Homo-oligomer: A and B are copies of this chain.
Amino acid sequence: MAERSVGARTWALPSRPVIAGAANAAGRKEGEGPLKDTFDAVCPDDTFGQSSWEKSESEMQRLALTGALARAGISPERLSALFAGDLLNQCIGSSFAARTLGAPYLGLYGACSTMGEALTLAALTVDGGYGDWAAAAASSHFCTAERQYRTPLEYGCQRPPTTQWTVTGAGAVVLAREGKGPRVTHVTPGRVVDLGITDTNNMGAAMAPAAHDTLSAHFQDTGRSPADYDLILTGDLGDLGRQLLLELFARDGVDLSPNCTDCGLLIYDRERQDVHCGGSGCGCSAAVFTGHILRGMAAGRWRRVLFCPTGALHSPTSALQGESIPGICHAVALEAPGREEEDHGVS
């Protein structure tokens, strides 16, 4: 195998690309939740000053990207590549945001795993020597997702208890070859895993097996165990999906519970905000990672983090045709500055 492959599925990144800048933006409900102080911009009416929800989502992603670029101290033209995606048909949230920037654009579709996929490919671009800077971004918007995937907002549909609430949020990161932020040390791209779940109101159950698959591969490839991470953060399995993930690992004799949580459980107050199983959407893990997590790493709260966004790769059409829901999970290992010695033993 090539020198940067570790085990069957993990890539070690010898240059350890640095998060040189990150930013996010979120909607009103997210701005009223427990992570409200970790968002760079909160729009009180979720419109971001635009005339349609789709344009609002695109503007929100643009805000996150320009914020991340400003913190990295570079203009968009200096990006070697921008990797971005969202949940909208034909990914218009991202392509219209990219239109304003003029950077080389590689559009992604990874459903709610998109921020993990984008970080993986941006890190590979920088680590491989294909430029000094690359960006990763993802977004979702409650109002665009509801009308595209479910029913018009005006219907006020009831939701079963297993559902999650699509986050209005976006996050963006600029990776660089040099700098002082947290570093990406390893990535484990996911494969499509489908255990036959067909209930589109229970995405957590559909995605948990993919998270189990990718995390297991990551631990096996790197020789690390869950205890080697201060935080293992899945994308948006929500409450039910997280329980299933813990159960799958328990069957392997591994206790994942002490340091594993989920972006979908962090972003809302489930007692007070009526979101059933928690948050979801590409913007959930993107906004939580670029706010709460990176701020926590900067403050020394967590040194080594495994960020594992999960996605459900179905569509309304595939669901109507009776197909089950394939899941995917991409894992990105990060390290705050100051643990160089330990890392080198592993990679």
- A binding-site residues for B, Cβ under 8 Å: 1-5, 8-9, 11, 51-52, 54-55, 77, 80-81, 85, 87-92, 95-96, 98-99, 101-111, 117, 120-121, 124-125, 127-132, 148, 177, 189-192, 194, 313-318, 321, 323, 326, 328
Contacts and interface: CB of A to CB of B under 8 A. Distances in A.
Nearest to A144: B317
Nearest to A328: B105
Contacts of A52: 321
A89 B315 CA distance: 7
Contacts of A101: 191-192
16 contacts: A1-B131, A2-B129, A5-B80, A11-B130, A11-B131, A81-B189, A87-B90, A89-B316, A90-B314, A90-B318, A95-B328, A96-B313, A98-B192, A105-B192, A107-B117, A124-B128
A73 to B, nearest CB: 17
B4 A315 contact: no
The oligomer's copy count stands at 2
Contacts of A89: 89-90, 315-317
A321 B91 CA distance: 15
Given A54-B317, A89-B315, A132 B194 contact: no
A128 B131 contact: no
A109 B91 contact: yes
A214 B127 CA distance: 24
A207 to B, nearest CB: 13
The 4 closest A-B pairs by CB, nearest first: A128-B128, A90-B315, A95-B313, A104-B189
Given A5-B80, A128-B4, A189 B106 contact: yes
A313 B189 contact: no
A109 B85 contact: yes
Given A2-B130, A2-B131, A89-B89, A192 B110 contact: no
A118 to B, nearest CB: 10
Given A92-B313, A99-B194, A318-B96, A2 B109 contact: no
A127 B129 CA distance: 10
Given A95-B192, A109-B91, A130-B124, A54 B102 contact: no
A321 B54 contact: yes
Nearest to A54: B317
A201 to B, nearest CB: 17
A345 to B, nearest CB: 21
